[in-house]
Chains A and B, each alone.
Chain A
Amino acid sequence: MESIIERINQGKFWHFHGGIHPPEQKTKTSSKPIKQLSLPKRLVLPLQQHIGRQGDLLVKVGDKILKGQALTQSSNPMAVPVHAPTSGTISAIKKSVIAHPSGLSELCLFIDVDGEDTWKKREICQDFTKLSHQQIIKKIADAGIAGMGGAGFPTHIKVNTKPEINFLIINAAECEPYITADDLLMCEQSTAIVDGIKILDQLLNPAFILIAIEDNKPQAIKALQQATINHDKIKVCVLPTKYPTGGEKQLIKILTGKEVNSGTLPVNSGIVVQNVATCFAISDAVINDIPLIRRVITLTGNALSRPQNVWALLGTQVSYLLEQAGFVSEVSETTPTLNSSQPSPPVIMGGPLMGFSILNEQVPIVKTSNCILAPSKVEMPSAFDNNSNEVECIRCGQCADVCPSQLLPQELQWSAKAKDHQQLMQLNLFDCIDCGACAYVCPSQIPLVQYYRVAKAEIRQQQQLDIKAEKAKARFEARKLRLEQEKLARQEKHQKAAAARKATMNKKSSDGGTANSAVAAALARVKAKKSAENNGTELLATSSDKPKDNEQAANSPVKAAIARAKAKRLAKEKNTETSVTSNEMQDDNQQTEKSQVKAAIARAKAKRLAKEKNTESSVTSNEVQDDNQQTEKLQVKAAIARAKAKRLAKEKNTETSVISNEVQDDNQQTEKLQVKAAIARAKAKRLAKKQTPETSVTSDQEQIQTPPVANDETHDNIVDDKKIRIAAAIAKAKAKKVQKQQSSTVTNTLSKKSIQEKNNESIINTTTAAEEKKARIAAAVAKAKAKHRKMDEVQEASTTNSKEST
């Protein structure tokens, strides 16, 4: 290390391989001071201006922002925030063309500048030496500083290193033609730069600090030497001018003689390289609390009437800068824009060797932009010529002579043309620094760097695809495994279920009675629950007792009948609660058999009518009916009942309709339901015709009874349930009408009304929901059908085609 310093002190340096000496063209701008531009009307700030990730937005459209305010933030260490370059309003957050050779759009903040340039509150640090390591790094990170030399690597990561640093190299070489931004910055801000260097010194504590500067910047050298005169640690190294001295690895080689191995970082050799503009930004950030919101940019080229270095706010659009520098476009005057995507006069962002032509002048300046080059046609004719003048490689080998990375450009070129990625990797394509020296010297005008850039992008993409394929493979295999496991689990489950079934079968054979009764009890429970749901208003205690009874009695209709009888007795005792009791009757019937539900409804109505008339005959007939239910020979008893009913009817003409209803009920309980119901109906009708005052009631009941009869034939539970409910609701409504006509038992009417309303509502709800669903299913079915038809058509077409061809 001592020998290195000795050599540097003697002014002796190493040499890197190759390099070129293109015309410098720096005098156009180097003699003029850095100009302060007036504020542009609008700024476009890309969220990502560096290598790494973009931060999360902190502002929204319409927000007022102050100069220096952070606009994004992120916890990701590779993310660097962006700051408001001046005060104003966020007018839009949308995708816009950015400074990238692709001309692709990325998310940008659009700021309407208010012209007041109001700063946020700043905390100026008087003495940075008192700040701790972490404080400084936090300040650098918060200021959004990314390497300003070109790559834009986040600075706070680069300076936050663990290993011991021997050399801190400040890169002030600025070797590319035309660019004088760093040169002017050093002339004008040398003290600030030296402050920045001291901050880095405090952070990294290197053994030596070397400022590398090319000998074509005498004024900058003088300024730096004056500023560092009191610092023994800092040495200004004046290097011979050669392109690309400013390359990181080339600079290390020149100053220390060390080669940085392929694929390793300089920091592993104890060397950190920082750009001189970054040093200035660091000093601004740490001392003055000014985040990175502006930079020096060289506006040059013969197409500009006033080429000069300017302080440009980040986000300033190139068109504004060109306008400020007096852009004279030669081509647009003669030939109006041929195609809109490419501006007719070429504008290059970056230097002539490493820059790229921008496709749109609306692109903004970002943290890494250092030059806008607008060449004239004489100056750079190939920029105006879209057709390549490339001819065959003549194997002169000049490219290999100038390559600073000691690669074999022509071999790389052949492999790149053949897309032989493996060979390219063997030739160390990724050590190429895109300096463009090979293309510059090529007598065949082969755009070598372009081939390498394409090849690099392709290889990167291939690597990504490989990763993706690997992931897909893993996912596919994981899925296969999962399906296998699910299959096994299913089989196991089925086997278990089968075993369980077998076991119960065996048990059943040993004592079948209990199992049977258990199943029956379960069925009874289910029915009880259903009936409870159907009827929300069970008032009597007997009703709660009933399910229990049913559970105990299981499937014995006998006990149910007894329960019914009990219920009826209660009904007799309390005349006012009759309707409620009739509801319970319904419950009982539903619990036993569905067909009986309708019968119960009918019965309930009949009873109500009977009660209204306050005659005992109906009660006796009810008892008769109950007796009938209790016996199994229903048909016989039904006949008896009919006979009795007829007798009663004859005795009391006013009650005939009621009795006929009861007869119907009995009939429904029998198996030949339809026939008997029809007979009963016919009878009832006949009787009804005889009795004019009650015609309406009987006809109503007929209507009610018809749907349940039909329902008995279909055993689809859900549909039945719904229909039963609807029928019940209709029946209730009608019963109520009758009641109103006869104006009796007001309280019951009220309670029923509520029930009816509820039922009606539920029916309406279910129907509307069902309709909607149906409509959607129908739509889906229609689509599916259309698809099928289409496929059929296609198939037909293909078959006809094949037929035609044959």
Chain B
Amino acid sequence: MNILIAILVLGVIAALFGALLGYASVRFHVEGDPIVEQLDALLPQTQCGQCGYPGCKPYAEAVANGEAINKCAPGGEDTIKKIADLLGVDVQPIDENHEQDDTSQSNRPKVAFIIEEDCIGCTKCIQACPVDAILGAAKQMHTILIDECTGCDLCVAPCPVDCIEMRPTPDTIQNWQWDLNKIAVKQVD
């Protein structure tokens, strides 16, 4: 009799929790993979494809599925650190295949620039631009929307006449950074 009661009680409890879990899984169902969204938010969104994936979101998905975290060249060490924090893995040095070519140069953000007198209007760069930042039409001169350009470099290679180059963004009052040449404030009397 005691055994029966024990079995009954445990059975009831099991059924109860089972129902609870079942309800919870329906009630709190999550569409999609939240980790992908979080990873995507950490990536710099240049959509440059230097990681080998066609854009930041695909790379985020790949990382969520176990791809190496050190392939984002525009993001650099910072991004790797953040991804490592998020995923709870070790920080890796940036993959040498995916390093920026011009680390020696200043780290100013760059944007593409079309030398307009050389442009033949082939539209190849327009097709290559992941963020539609190039304006132009067939046999018409093209130009870059500087504010939209992410500096991903993808338009440079397709140009048949080499009229696109990457130029650092100009220094303005708005994006100027203080350097630590301090202002004297010390008083001596």
Contacts and interface: CB of A to CB of B under 8 A. Distances in A.
Contacts of A346: 184
Interface stretch (A353-361, A633-641, A666-674, A697-705): A353-361
B176 interface: yes
Nearest to B174: A464
Given A378-B188, A469-B45, A472-B150, A447 B183 contact: yes
Interface in A56-115: 100-102, 104, 106
B176 A355 contact: no
Given A472-B150, A475-B132, A479-B132, A104 B172 contact: yes
B188 A476 contact: no
Contacts of B40: 473
Given A379-B188, A476-B130, A476-B131, A783 B44 contact: no
A787 interface: yes
Interface in B126-155: 130-133, 148, 150
A470 interface: yes
B177 A352 contact: no
A440 B44 contact: no
Contacts of A461: 175, 177
Contacts of B131: 472, 475-476, 479
Contacts of B160: 780, 783-784, 787
Interface string B38-51: 00100011110000
A776 to B, nearest CB: 8
A23 interface: yes
Interface string A439-482: 11000010101110110011001001100111111011111100
A192 B130 CA distance: 61
A447 B177 CA distance: 16
Contacts of A390: 182
Contact of A388 (B44, B148, B182): B182
A450 B161 contact: no
Contacts of A783: 118, 160-162
Nearest to B122: A780
A348 B184 CA distance: 9
Contacts of A473: 40, 45, 47, 56-57
B162 A386 contact: no
A379 to B, nearest CB: 7
B178 A450 contact: yes
Nearest to A177: B187
A454 B180 CA distance: 8
Given A475-B131, A780-B161, A100 B184 contact: no
Given A104-B171, A458-B177, A436 B161 contact: no
A472 B47 contact: yes
Given A472-B45, A472-B46, A784-B161, A381 B183 contact: no
A682 interface: no
Contacts of B185: 352-353, 382, 436, 439-440, 447, 449
A471 B148 contact: yes
Given A450-B182, A457-B178, A472-B46, A352 B187 contact: yes
B118 to A, nearest CB: 8
B173 interface: yes
A50 B148 CA distance: 27
A92 B115 CA distance: 28
Contacts of B148: 471-472, 475
A450 B183 contact: yes
Contacts of A163: none
A794 interface: no
A380 B182 CA distance: 13
B76 interface: no
A218 interface: no
Interface residues of A, number: 58
Contacts of B166: none
A23 B187 CA distance: 8
A380 B187 contact: yes
A355 B176 CA distance: 17
A801 B145 CA distance: 38
B44 A457 contact: no
A440 B175 contact: no
Nearest to B109: A465
Contact of A476 (B45, B118, B173, B180): B45
A459 B35 CA distance: 25
Interface in A605-660: none
Interface in A312-364: 346, 348, 352-353, 355-357
Contacts of A378: 188
B120 interface: yes
A353 B189 CA distance: 16
A453 B178 contact: yes
B184 A440 contact: no
Nearest to B118: A783
B27 interface: no
A533 interface: no
Given A355-B183, A445-B186, A447-B182, A478 B176 contact: no
B180 A450 contact: yes
B189 A23 contact: yes
Nearest to A784: B160
Given A450-B182, A475-B132, A381 B188 contact: yes
Interface in A363-391: 375, 378-386, 388, 390
Interface in A26-47: none
Contacts of A352: 184-185, 187
A257 interface: no
Contacts of A453: 178
A357 B183 contact: yes
Nearest to B149: A472
Contact of B47 (A436, A440, A451, A476): A476
A512 interface: no
Nearest to B46: A472
Residue of B45, B160, B188 ringed by the most chain A CB atoms within 10 A: B45
Nearest to B130: A476
A780 B118 CA distance: 9
A112 B181 CA distance: 35
Contacts of A386: 181
Contacts of A447: 180, 182-183, 185
B184 A380 contact: yes
Nearest to A375: B184
A477 B130 CA distance: 9
A782 to B, nearest CB: 10
A388 B185 CA distance: 12
Contacts of B133: 475
A240 interface: no
A397 interface: no
Nearest to A384: B184
A22 interface: yes
Nearest to A791: B157
A382 B185 CA distance: 7
A242 B120 CA distance: 67
A477 B160 CA distance: 27
A131 B118 CA distance: 60
Given A472-B131, A783-B161, A348 B183 contact: yes
23 contacts: A23-B187, A102-B173, A104-B172, A104-B173, A352-B185, A357-B183, A380-B186, A381-B184, A388-B182, A447-B180, A447-B182, A447-B183, A450-B178, A453-B178, A454-B178, A471-B148, A476-B47, A477-B57, A479-B130, A479-B131, A780-B120, A780-B160, A783-B162
Closest 5 CB pairs of A and B: A383-B184, A447-B182, A382-B184, A469-B45, A475-B131
Given A390-B182, A458-B177, A787-B161, 16 more contacts: A23-B189, A348-B183, A356-B183, A357-B184, A381-B184, A383-B184, A439-B185, A449-B183, A454-B178, A454-B180, A465-B44, A473-B45, A473-B57, A476-B47, A780-B160, A783-B118
